[in-house]
Amino acid sequence: MRSISLCIFILLVWMNLFSVSAEEFKSPPMVLVPKGRFKMGNDEFKNAKPVHSVTLTNDFYISKYEITNQEYADMLNYALNRGYLDKNYLSGDKIQARGISKSPQKYLDVSDEDSQIIFKDGKFEVLAGKENFPVLELTWYGAAFYCNMLSEREGLTPLYNLDDWSCQVYGKTGYRLPTEAEWEYAARYNDARRYPWGNQDPDASYANVNSYNNGPVFVGSYSPKGDSKLGISDMAGNVAEWCNDWYNDYSAGEQIDPIGPGPSLYVYLPFFKQFQPLRVVRGGCYLYDPNFRKGMGPPFEVNFVTDKSSFDNGYRGFDYRNMSRAMTGFRIVKTIATAKTKSVWSAPEN
C-alpha cells in the first residue's frame, strides 16, 4: 500500500513539474495568412522601387502580436537551463544574453536601461507590469535565436544555423522571422491598403506613433481598430520589427517566394571602424523624430525613426544585425512544409 502511495506521489510531482514547464513557455498566438499574389513596394520611396508583383505559394502563420518580454524571458530561461547561453556574460556591470556557437552573438542587452528584462538570482525576470510589452534591446540574432528555441520546444526543426546564421526559409516546418515579402503581404493582404488598418493616415487612434515620451505600450493596445485585415496587431508603430532578409535594392520583375539578396550592401561604421551589412526592419516604431541623433552618422541615426513615412506598408527600414535598440522588436512566422515544398536557404554571413 505504501509503495502504491509513493508511486502516486511521484506521479503527481512529475505531472506538476511538466505543467509548470509547459505554462512557462507558451507558443505565441498565430494568425493564418493564405498564400496569394500582391504588388510589393512603393514608388514614393527611393529604396522601395520598383513596385513589382510577388507570389507567395505557401500559406504561413504569423504571430498576432509582437513577441513580449515575458515570452522572451521564458525562452532565455529555457535556453539557459540547457546550456545554450554563455554564462560568462551573465555577471558584472554589462550583462548580456549571448549565445554559444562558432559565431557567438549578443542576443539581448540586459544591462541597458531600456531593457525590461533583468537577470536576477540565476534567472531572467521581467520588470513588474512590463510582461506584455514588446521585448526591447535585442539584436537580429536574438530574434532568430528565439525562433530556434520555439521550434525546438515544439519538437520541430530549428531553421537557423547558429554557426553561419543562414536560415532554411522553405522546406521544413518551424519558426523563423518573416521574409520582407511575407511581412508586407500580411500587412496589405488582398486590398493593397497603405497602412495595416486601411488608408487613413496614422494617428494615436490606430497605433502607437509619435509617442516620444511614452515609449512602447503593451501589445494589442490598439486592437481591433489598428489591426490589419487579417487581425494582426501593431504592424505599424509600437516597435519596429526585424525581418529575415538582408537589405539591398529590390530586383525588378515578378518574383515567386522571394527571400532577399545575400549580404551585399555594406555600410562603414566609423565608431566600430568596420563595414557591416544591413538587415530589413519594417513597421516603424512609437518614436518619430526627424532630428534623432542628427549628424552622428551610422549606426546611431535610424531611418525608421527619422522618417514619418515609416508606418507605410511599403516603407523599408534597415539596421545593423548586432545593434540592439529601444525601438526594435519582432514577430515570428511559422511555415508548414509539405512533400512538394522545395528546400530554400537564405544566404549565410560572409
Reduce the secondary structure of 231-287 to three states and give it as a string: CCCCCCCCCEEEEEEECCCCCCCCEECCCCCCCCCEEEECCCCEEEEEEEEECCCCC
Percent of the chain with pLDDT over 90: 83
What pLDDT does residue 24 have?
Answer: 61
What pLDDT does residue 105 have?
Answer: 97
Residue 338 to residue 332: CA distance in whole angstroms: 20
Note whether residue 57 is domain-resident.
yes
Note whether residue 20 is domain-resident.
no
Tell me if 230 sits within 8 A of 189, measured CB to CB.
Answer: yes
How far are the Cα atoms of 2, 5, 14, 23, 58 from residue 9, in angstroms, in the given order?
A: 10, 6, 9, 21, 48
What pLDDT does residue 251 have?
Answer: 86
Note whether residue 83 is domain-resident.
yes
- Beta bridge partners, 320, equal 278
Residue 218 backbone dihedrals phi, psi, to 5 degrees? -65, 150
Count up the domains in the chain and report the number.
1
Mean pLDDT throughout 324-336? 97
Position 67 pLDDT exceeds 90: yes
- Beta bridge partners, 125, equal 118
Note whether residue 324 is domain-resident.
yes
Note whether residue 196 is domain-resident.
yes
| Helices and strands (H and E) in the chain: how many | 5, 18
Long-range pairs of 201-210 with CB within 8 A, sequence gap ≥ 24: 202/236, 202/237, 202/311, 206/236, 206/237, 207/234, 207/236, 207/237, 207/238, 207/311, 208/234, 208/237, 208/238, 208/286, 209/236, 209/237, 209/284, 209/286, 209/288, 209/311, 210/286, 210/287, 210/288
Question: How many residues appear in the chain?
Answer: 350
pLDDT class for 212, splitting at 50, 70, 90? Answer: low
Note whether residue 9 is domain-resident.
no
pLDDT class for 205, splitting at 50, 70, 90? Answer: very high
pLDDT class for 252, splitting at 50, 70, 90? Answer: confident
C-alpha grid cell, residue 9:
506521489
- Element holding 61 (H helix, E strand): strand 60-63
Tell me if 72 sits within 8 A of 89, measured CB to CB.
Answer: no
Using DSSP's 3-state secondary structure scheme, residue 157 falls into coil
Full domain range(s) for residue 118: 30-339
CATH of the domain at 57: 3.90.1580.10
Buried b / exposed e across 123-141, counting CB within 10 Å, b at 16+?
ebbbeeebebbbbbbbbbb
The position carrying cell 525576470 is: 125
Tell me if 260 sits within 8 A of 318, measured CB to CB.
Answer: no
Using DSSP's 3-state secondary structure scheme, residue 171 falls into coil
Residue 188 to residue 49: CA distance in whole angstroms: 17
Note whether residue 292 is domain-resident.
yes
What pLDDT does residue 19 have?
Answer: 38
- Beta bridge partners, 36, equal 56
Note whether residue 125 is domain-resident.
yes
The position carrying cell 516620444 is: 212
95-125 pLDDT, tens digit each: 999 999 999 999 999 999 999 999 999 999 9
